[in-house]
Structure 1
């Protein structure tokens, strides 16, 4: 059989930085018993295949119904019809084929809730990824960094102000929101196609961190789905400074995390998310102050929100009241059903993003 990995296996592979993939040989041919035994033998351990493909069994598309029997190594999914255009691409370094970002989410639709599908889409369309190396892999990544061989393919591990490695990686988006929606046309009529389309329609745009993705979902989803239903906004919106603003900021452009364009009733508003990894420290505080002053000079109001203000429901309610007042937006009163859905949404959003899709959580 040819390894056409899909679902959680493909999602884990899409999350794995090229730096990690470069440490591995060609994947064994699991079309034969010897190959499956080799994978099982190599799977456990500090540098086993679980670091690239996630936990066993591996999810794979098979074209021959005779290969539908699952094993400890492979969980096959028979697909006898035509595959959507652009459903797979090859990884020549590993010798495997795995699903494209859009097809990966589609093949996880039966396993994920709508909220989880939207979360996965935000990660794939965002300029970030979640991957936590184990201790042995991290040592090799650190060595690559020290020898200036890191950042293959534009991937860069985010570190705290103390230099500690995190599970957050910066990289270019793997797919655009437009491509997500375009893919939906190719799967029209298939099982879970409507669920996929509903999720894709909820993605507001390219975010730069999981915190921004969480805030985007909390603000944009309608109250019947647990969100606040705020007016449309742009995520990771590019702003070109005026001459004076550029002098104040020391830069020519910036990117607003959440940007509400100006209307006749309110000014433009930039909502900035502050997480611990990249915003702590005196130096970053000075950058943020300069940036805020530059934007305010241009008539753009800046509102800062922290991780703690998002996770604490009372503080989040106070933040939403403030934002709604600045936007001249009337928040809807929530029914008991809406409040229950809100709690469910927050439970999913603030759970472990690392294990989204059934991935490994490495401590």
Structure 2
């Protein structure tokens, strides 16, 4: 019987680039390692996934308490296609079931961030130094291929970062089907409420943070801009193509006026937090090309969104570009924004980590989405 990894262990697995997984030896089978001595020395468990490992059990009499294992009990029928085989001697919960199980110890916003990564075009993976060195040696020697579909994004100084570019693990239709499967389960309604707010197709944590600050309803701390599109492909006309010498560019965030006549293209600047060197609107030529096609273009930095006063000035500028009226926030909306900001700017490498008891303010934050969306 193979272990079924879930919770934070499965989340770490889904964050591991395939290049790294190719270096990992299989876990020992539980029936051949009853005391888990071999597991404690296994580099996949000890280095790549980290202890304790979280496993899923289906009945109460299957629960055991080895030091290296923590178990999650899941009673009832599992959602469709929610358990997957790996090449490493264990089973793993699907990205969505992984997130659903994690939701028991996450605040609503933390759950939203995890879902945004699963549904996004990126993964955040901080490799231990030993594993990173082993990966470099394997690639340099040709022992493993670099064409796994995951690309490590360079930081501003040109070295590898913790940000990886990949295809989305979860598509919008997958999320809708999963929500219909869990709607009657414990935490199911809360999961569904949070899933309605998930940005699909974000390319970096920066894009997720900017999207939520701009797009969440004001009652949840955002600015309430509707219909924000992420990573929009724009085919350039002849004159714009002559400016940029490309046939297409990508807009990080595209905001439109209610009547659709005005559009603002926002570019998230900063390779360290954005990680898409060569894409988007990286220079004046790209900006000029889009402006020639009728777009207003706004460059956005992480410093601007993390500072409340700077961000408010940006929001007012967007309203002017969209020919929309800016309304000052009420006291309740200001408190909601303060709560949002207190949890939004996190170390993404530690997202979902179980670190003891949840602070009181996090307990208060657990119900903000479900409460507002049910009104």
Shift of 1:12: 0.8
Report whether the alignment pairs 1:187 with 2:187: no
Distance 1:61 1:273 in 2: 39
CA distance in 2, matches of 1:305, 1:72: 47
The 5 Å alignment of 1:84-233 reads: 84-92=79-87, 94-147=88-141, 149-233=144-228
Gaps of 5+ in 2: 356-375
Distance 1:220 1:142, change over 3 A: same
Change (3 A) 1:178 1:261: farther
CA contact (8 A) 2:51 2:69 kept: no
CA contact (8 A) 1:150 1:156 kept: no
1:298-318 deviations in Å (ceiling 9; x for gaps) = 111111100111111111111
SS in 2 for 1:168: strand
Count of residue correspondences: 353
Distance 2:190 2:258 in 1: 33
* Aligned counterpart, 2:324: 329
Question: How many angstroms does 1:337 deviate by?
Answer: 3.2
Superposition TM-score, scaled by structure 1 size: 0.89
**Inter-partner Cα distance in structure 1 for 2:91 and 2:274:** 38
User: How much is the aligned-residue C-alpha RMSD, in angstroms?
Assistant: 2.5
Distance 2:233 2:58 in 1: 45
SS at match of 1:354: helix
SS in 2 for 1:174: coil
Report the 3-state secondary structure (helix = DSSP H, G, I; strand = E; otherwise coil) of the residue aligned with 1:347.
helix
Q: Distance in 1 between matches of 2:109 and 2:25?
A: 36
Cα contact 1:260–1:268 (8 A) shared by 2: yes
Could you list the per-position Cα deviations for residues 260-299 of structure 1 after superposition, in whole angstroms to 9, with x for gaps in the alignment?
246547522111101242889x999994222111111111
**Aligned ranges for residues 1-363 of structure 1 at < 5 Å?**
1-31=1-31, 33-34=33-34, 36-42=36-42, 47=43, 49-56=45-52, 58-92=53-87, 94-147=88-141, 149-261=144-256, 264=259, 266-277=261-272, 287-358=282-353
Give the Å deviation of 1:100.
1.0
Q: Which runs of 5+ in 1 are unaligned?
A: none
Output the TM-score relative to the length of structure 2: 0.87
Residues 245 and 237 of structure 1: CA distance in aligned 2, closer, same or farther (over 3 Å): same
C-alpha contact (below 8 Å) 1:211/1:275 kept by paired residues: no
